[in-house]
Amino acid sequence: MEQRQIFSSEVTVVGRTRRAEERLPADIRARYGANGLPERALCRIVDMSKRGAKLEVFCDLPPSTMITLKLPNADVVRARVVWSNDFEAGCQFLEPLSDQEFDLIYHKGHA
């Protein structure tokens, strides 16, 4: 009787991400304003880099919406919503944060 061997393998595909740099996990409470309105709406930053952030929001933020984001220990940051679904939105900062700004904001959010 002929014996057959069965092989099993697991493949992980590692590809390039569209992001310019890695985002770090965060838990930072912030406020934002959309389309020129003051920064009154609450949100939570769940990950961030010097170039952008993923937000948990309580209302719809369609892609291409311009927002101002009030971050801890920083001035208001202008950003554009790149994607959104349900209660999450990914935004790209119009001007990347400096190393110093990023460190202050990120560490403040984890204090």
Domain at 94, CATH number? 2.40.10.220
**pTM (two decimals):** 0.77
* pLDDT computed for residue 23 by the predictor: 83
Strand ranges (DSSP E) for the chain?
Answer: 24-34, 41-48, 52-57, 66-70, 76-85, 88-93
- φ, ψ of residue 99 in degrees (nearest 5): -55, -45
Q: Which domain holds residue 89?
A: 24-109
Residue 57: inside a domain = yes
pLDDT per residue as tens digits for the range 5-61: 554 445 444 444 555 678 899 999 999 999 888 889 999 999 999 999 999 999 989
Question: Is residue 88 assigned to a domain?
Answer: yes
